[in-house]
């Protein structure tokens, strides 16, 4: 169900910002978070604000093309949120984390267009995954200062991967989404954990 009003959405965004900051997923002013409102607007973090110290003034509204509706300045990456809302009518929230693990992993996988994970119980935190006996590929797209370039590059990768609930921008971080902000947070948290688990497994294998 879509968030009924801006006040509720703002409170949820502030809470996620504090949680992500505590996990080192939102250093400096990185990351951005949004919620689709029941009236069709999107509540999203204002450009350049520290996500661990958000207030109600740090959340603004845009339309589904990413245009500001209240005179505040949206992040350039608002276009990536808007693209996902237009593409997936059921999506109610988009969250962008910026963890060292996701940035480092995508930089290490130079040239790769996806990261495939299989066999993990925690994959069931992703929507539509009901068993560990499964493989999911999350797309990786190269970074750009032009959001239209990223949006155009990621769309066919999402189709090819079967529309997973997340993707990476190389050297930039993770985008995850869900039917509401709670589901989007589960997607991001599970994905970040899976990166760490895969890294730990490789470290233990090197010791064997």
Q: What is the pLDDT of residues 132-158, one digit of tens each?
A: 988 999 999 999 999 999 999 999 999
- Are the C-beta atoms of residues 84 and 91 closer than 8 Å to each other? yes
Q: Give the mean model confidence (pLDDT) for residues 14-43.
A: 96
Q: Name all domains of the chain by residue range, CATH numbers in brackets.
A: 6-207 (3.40.225.10)
pLDDT at residue 46 tops 90:
yes
Q: Give the pLDDT confidence score for residue 208 in this predicted structure.
A: 67
Q: Give the pLDDT confidence score for residue 1 in this predicted structure.
A: 66
Give the residue ranges of the annotated binding site for Zn(2+): 96, 98
Q: Give the mean model confidence (pLDDT) for residues 166-170.
A: 98
- Are the C-beta atoms of residues 203 and 193 closer than 8 Å to each other? no
Q: Give the mean model confidence (pLDDT) for residues 81-98.
A: 96
Within its chain, how far is the Cα of 192 from the centroid?
Answer: 11
Tens of pLDDT, residues 55-72: 999 999 999 999 999 989
What b-and-e string marks burial along 130-159, b requiring 16 or more CB atoms within 10 Å of the CB? eeeeeebbbbbbbeeeebeebbeebeebbe
Average pLDDT, the chain: 94
Q: Quick check: pTM over 0.85?
A: yes
3-class secondary structure, 44? strand
Q: Give the pLDDT confidence score for residue 206 in this predicted structure.
A: 86
Give the residue ranges of the annotated binding site: 96, 98
Tens of pLDDT, residues 174-205: 999 999 999 999 999 999 999 999 999 888 98
């Amino acid at each position: 169900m879509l968030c009924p009003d801006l006040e509720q959405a703002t409170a949820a965004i502030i809470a996620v910002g504090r949680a992500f900051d505590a996990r080192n997923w939102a250093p400096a002013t990185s990351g951005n978070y949004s919620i689709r409102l029941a009236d069709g607007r999107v509540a999203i973090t204002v450009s350049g604000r520290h996500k661990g110290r958000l207030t109600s003034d740090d959340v603004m509204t845009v339309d589904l093309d990413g245009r500001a509706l209240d005179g505040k300045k949206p992040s350039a990456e608002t276009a990536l949120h808007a693209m996902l809302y237009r593409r997936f009518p059921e999506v109610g929230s988009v969250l962008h984390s910026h963890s060292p693990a996701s940035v480092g992993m995508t930089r290490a996988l130079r040239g790769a267009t996806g990261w495939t994970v299989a066999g993990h119980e925690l994959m069931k935190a992703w929507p539509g995954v009901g068993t560990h006996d499964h493989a999911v590929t999350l797309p990786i797209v190269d970074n750009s200062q032009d959001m239209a370039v990223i949006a155009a590059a990621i769309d066919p990768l999402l189709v090819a991967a079967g529309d997973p609930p997340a993707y990476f921008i190389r050297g930039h971080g993770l985008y995850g989404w869900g039917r509401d902000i709670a589901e989007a947070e589960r997607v991001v948290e599970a994905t970040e954990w899976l990166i760490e688990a895969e890294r730990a497994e490789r470290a233990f294998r090197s010791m064997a």
